[in-house]
Structure 1
Amino acid sequence: MKSEAEVLKSIGERLKEIRIQKGYTSYESFALDHDLGRMQYWRLEKGEANLTIRTLLKVLTIHGMTLQEFFSEGF
């Protein structure tokens, strides 16, 4: 069973992977384009933020993904 830190890191890696697939090479440009705090989003991708469901849902809505899609594909 993964620790909390390992789960947050896995979620962050998945968010980064999706961002790059959508053509954003920079977390900063993604955050600015979608009205997200740059440092907050950077911390999400690094697995260093206490991720809330609300924040995750906001980012997934930007990507046009459901929670099921996010967690089923390579998680």
Structure 2
Amino acid sequence: MVEVANPDEMALKRAMGRAIAHARVAAGFTSQAAFSRAIDVRFQYMSRVEKGEENLTLETLAKMTGVLGVSMPDFLNSVAKELSNPSDPPKTRRGRPPAA
């Protein structure tokens, strides 16, 4: 039996992904790969999170907001704004960041 996702759940995951992507870029992480390394998760996981295809644990969310320098209440407020008024995800470059 195939489980069908709840539309509200899907909208929340997409809003969360867009909010993370915007916060990531605003914090100076121009690639998902660089941010993934900073929070010690796989790039593929981060990609799925930002696309709204993956659930986050509270621990991972706390790690993300800590690295981004955003309080949890402020971040959740940005998710609420994305739910009510969705924006386009930020344009970021693909691939690995240049070597330091």
Q: What TM-score bracket applies, with the shorter chain setting the length?
A: 0.7 to 0.9
2:77 corresponds in structure 1 to 72
> Share of identical aligned residues, percent?
28
Deviations, residues 8-37 of structure 1 (Å, cap 9, x unaligned):
100000000011111222111221233221
1:43 corresponds in structure 2 to 48
Unaligned runs of 5+ in 2: 1-6, 83-100
Structure of greater Rg: 2
Higher relative contact order (CA 8 A, sep 6+): 2
1:57 corresponds in structure 2 to 62
Distance 1:29 1:68 in 2: 24
Name the one with the larger helix percent. 1
Relative to the length of structure 2, the TM-score reads 0.65
Unaligned runs of 5+ in 1: none
Relative to the length of structure 1, the TM-score reads 0.84
**Alignment RMSD:** 1.6
Deviations, residues 27-61 of structure 1 (Å, cap 9, x unaligned):
11221233221111111111111211111111111
